[in-house]
Amino acid sequence: MALLEIQNVTRRFGDFTAVGGVSLAIEAGEFFTLLGPSGCGKTTLLRMIAGFDLPDAGRILLDGVDLADRPPEERPVRTVFQSYALFPHMTVEGNVAFPLKMAKTPPGQIAAKVAEALEDVRLTGFGKRYPHELSGGQKQRVAIARALVTHPTVLLLDEPLAALDAKLREDMQLELINLQKEVGITFVYVTHDQTEALALSHRIAVMNAGRVEQLDEPSRIYGFPRTRFVADFIGHCNLLAGPITANDQGIVTVDVAGLGPVRVAANTTLAPGRPGTVALRPEKARIEASAPAGTPDNHYRGTVSDLLYMGDVTVYIVDTPGGQKIEALLANSASGRAKFFEVGDPVEVSWPVAAGHFVEE
């Protein structure tokens, strides 16, 4: 049995369905992420797990026990809030000791537990400071120490890194991974940042419009998106849609307007005539100045219409004569050059059938 079971949970606000019939089973010790754009229902779901909101239908079970009639203060679940929500009138120690005092921990044990929690988040020596004397990253760690000090069963994190700058965010991601391994507590992490979700999670539930679109490991979410939404939301993706013209021996051919037939390896029973989409990651498309060697499965001519130089890589937008745009990505590191092509250069774009991914929806 899973540690945290969300069974068919629905939450409506007036006519708006924030969460519509979501079911999830989260295992003990798992780093589980709810990923989706704002308004997808991920935060509402988190607030229902914490107890700040109640489902209109469905159940939330922790260790097999229904949490419905337990208020937030009685749930063995702690939340790290996006705004940190540190108590400004208490020192770091006071903040971390707060849940221990609420749990009637014997006063003699409080200091040791606080010190241990601060050590876990590498803030030893900061105990006497007030929150306004800390940097954003330090505040974040105090919030985590405060939530972990009572060893909750589940730790909920609501966009905890959103307020930090990019460099610090990366450091904190590594720390979170290590911390989660160390304490072994189940993390349920909410974010709209797909790279963060891919980097941190054991499993990701991609949410859209109150529903779970796909629940999988990060590599499968990225490599095998089940829906157009997932393909588009996670990373960059060329979505080439059109009617299926052939489905033969595991190779599906889709007729894409402005491009022509696109062949992709797929295991689907969809018959010709039905719509389909080929999802192609920009890094899987080859881009060359002259015709590629051999006869690649998919091969198109075009002109570079735009390029985005990003340091390590450059993204080229290629326009085909028919008006379709294809994004292709090339690493700059190997060549030592800044760019391979300029805007206006004629190029050849190609990829094998295995590079694309077929999406039914």
Partner 1 sequence: MASRAPGRWGKWLVSGPPLLYLLIFFAVPTLIMALASFRTPGEFGGLAPLIDDTGALDLNVESYARFVAEPVYAQVFLKSVWYALLTTLACLALAYPLAALIARSPKKYRNLLLLLVILPFWSNFLIRIYAWMIILGPQAALVRSVNGILGAFGMAPVSLLFSSFAVLACLVYVHLPFMVLPLYANLEKHDQALLDAAQDLGASAWQRFWRITFPLSLPGVYAGAALVFIPALGMFAIPDILGGPEDSLIGNVIKQQFLEARDWPFGSVLSIVLTVAALLLAGLAAWVGRGNLGTPSSAGESRA
Smallest separation (angstroms) from partner 1 to the CB of 199: 26
For the chain, the residue count is 361
Q: Which of residues 54-73 bind partner 1 (CB under 8 A)?
A: 71-73
Q: Which is nearer to partner 1, 73 or 248 (CB)?
A: 73
Q: Which is nearer to partner 1, 86 or 285 (CB)?
A: 86
Smallest separation (angstroms) from partner 1 to the CB of 133: 8
* Residue 340 binds partner 1, judged by CB under 8 A: no
Q: Which is nearer to partner 1, 85 or 177 (CB)?
A: 85
Q: Which is nearer to partner 1, 34 or 240 (CB)?
A: 34
* Residue 52 binds partner 1, judged by CB under 8 A: yes
Smallest separation (angstroms) from partner 1 to the CB of 152: 10
Strands (E), the chain: 4-13, 16-26, 31-35, 57-62, 65-66, 77-80, 154-158, 186-191, 203-208, 211-216, 238-248, 251-256, 260-265, 275-280, 286-288, 298-309, 313-319, 325-331, 346-351, 357-359
Alpha carbon separation from 214 to 22, 24, 220 (Å, rounded):
11, 11, 10
Which phi and psi (to 5°) does residue 74 adopt? Answer: -105, 5
Q: CA angle, 272 as apex, 270 and 273 as ends, to 5°?
A: 105
- Tokens 């965010």 belong to 169
* Residue 167 binds partner 1, judged by CB under 8 A: no
Q: Which is nearer to partner 1, 109 or 305 (CB)?
A: 109
Smallest separation (angstroms) from partner 1 to the CB of 158: 10
Alpha carbon separation from 132 to 84, 135, 160 (Å, rounded):
12, 8, 18
* Residue 109 binds partner 1, judged by CB under 8 A: no
Smallest separation (angstroms) from partner 1 to the CB of 145: 12
With CB under 8 A as the contact rule, the residue among 40, 60, 147, 185 that binds partner 1 is 147
- Interacting residues of 224 by C-beta distance below 8 A, sequence separation 6+: 216, 357
Distance CA 259, CA 33 (A): 37
Size of the site for partner 1 (CB under 8 A): 28
Distance CA 27, CA 16 (A): 30
* Residue 145 binds partner 1, judged by CB under 8 A: no
DSSP one-letter code for 303: E
Strands 31-35, 203-208: pairing is parallel
Other Cβ atoms within 10 Å of 258 Cβ, number: 14
Task: Say whether 283 sits in a helix, a strand or coil.
Answer: helix
* Residue 344 binds partner 1, judged by CB under 8 A: no
Q: Which of residues 22-51 bind partner 1 (CB under 8 A)?
A: 50-51
With CB under 8 A as the contact rule, the residue among 42, 139, 141, 146 that binds partner 1 is 146
* Residue 83 binds partner 1, judged by CB under 8 A: yes
* Residue 192 binds partner 1, judged by CB under 8 A: no
Q: Which is nearer to partner 1, 14 or 88 (CB)?
A: 88
Contacting residues toward partner 1, per CB under 8 A = 50-52, 71-74, 77-79, 81, 83, 85-90, 98-99, 102-103, 130-132, 146-147, 150
